[in-house]
């Protein structure tokens, strides 16, 4: 496991934006866009704002953008993960930028089928995804892979049924997360420290633990969340 710890949210967002730009430029030097899947939730909001502030100088042609998951809603819906990234950042993309939105407005299963086809064609069956960005829920969920849910082993994108407290969604599957070249998990705050600590326990069975058992994850944390990994003496 690789850890990058920053003192606060702004510093973390700036450092991750710096790294993303450097990696996109390095990829483009080999005539290949950096294929990234963006996370939803609130944690990456500051990163998207930071990237939006740098829109004028971003190597847009060196980025091909996918999504780690999406709610079964349209792009204008306040719950949309696409909208989360679009408002501060992707709305500034020049024409021709490769952005693969998950069409949540079709409903979870139809959107998952569309996204499966996109991933098969544009991301080399997942193997060409360079970086998948993830958050983590307090229950140890990642993307929309929730504890206790049935995880497909044969698809790259799957529908996730609605529950009384959660909209239906589309998510990258565990095989898709594992097939990607890298995974970056962004976490901040005390509630995520507990979630990380629980998922790093040897007997953990959370979705994050199931990923960690199969693939390397790079953790980008603020100081508080990092305490999970190095509890104060
Ligand atoms: C989503 C995300 C989800 C999120 C975690 C953490 O669609 O909500 O994909 O997995 O990353 O729930 O959310 P916060 O960043 O809001 O804590």
- Whether 231 shows a pLDDT value over 90: the answer reads no
Q: What's the pLDDT tens digit per position in 116-146?
A: 999 999 988 888 999 999 999 999 999 999 9
Q: What is the pLDDT of residue 167?
A: 95
Q: How far apart (Å, rounded) are the C-alpha atoms in residues 45 and 128?
A: 25
Q: How far apart (Å, rounded) are the C-alpha atoms in residues 144 and 134?
A: 10
Q: What is the pLDDT of residue 227?
A: 85
Q: Of the residues 37, 40, 108, 221, which should be mutated to test ligand 1's pocket, given the most ligand atoms within 8 Å of the CB?
A: 40
Q: Is 202 helix (H, G, I), strand (E, B) or coil?
A: coil
Is ligand 1 within 6 A of the CB of residue 27? no
Residue entry with tokens 């953008």: 65
Average pLDDT on 198-217 reads: 96
> Shortest CA distance to 140 belongs to which of 212, 50, 231, 230?
212
Residues recorded for the chain? 233
Query: Which two three-digit tokens encode residue 18?
Result: 């710096």
Domains present along the chain, CATH in parentheses:
2-229 (3.40.50.1360)
């Amino acid at each position: 496991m690789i850890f990058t710890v920053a003192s606060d949210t702004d510093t973390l967002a700036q450092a991750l934006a710096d790294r993303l730009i450097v990696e996109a430029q390095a990829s483009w030097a080999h005539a290949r866009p950096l294929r990234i899947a963006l996370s939803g939730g609130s944690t990456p909001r500051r990163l998207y704002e930071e990237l939006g502030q740098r829109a004028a100088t971003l190597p847009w042609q060196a980025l091909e953008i996918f999504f780690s998951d999406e709610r079964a809603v349209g792009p204008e819906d306040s719950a949309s993960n696409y909208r989360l990234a679009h408002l501060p950042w992707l709305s500034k993309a020049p024409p021709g930028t490769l952005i693969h939105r998950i069409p949540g407005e079709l409903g979870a299963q139809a959107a998952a089928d569309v996204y499966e086809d996109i991933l098969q064609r544009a991301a080399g069956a997942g193997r060409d995804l360079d970086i998948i960005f993830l958050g983590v829920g307090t229950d140890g969920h990642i993307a929309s892979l929730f504890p206790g849910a049935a995880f497909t082993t044969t698809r790259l994108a799957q529908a996730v049924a609605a529950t009384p407290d959660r909209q239906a969604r589309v998510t990258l599957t565990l095989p898709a997360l594992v097939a990607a070249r890298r995974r970056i998990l962004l976490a901040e705050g005390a509630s995520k420290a507990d979630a990380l600590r629980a998922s790093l326990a040897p007997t953990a069975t959370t979705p994050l633990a199931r990923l960690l058992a199969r693939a390397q994850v790079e953790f980008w944390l603020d100081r508080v969340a990092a305490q999970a990994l190095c509890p104060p003496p």
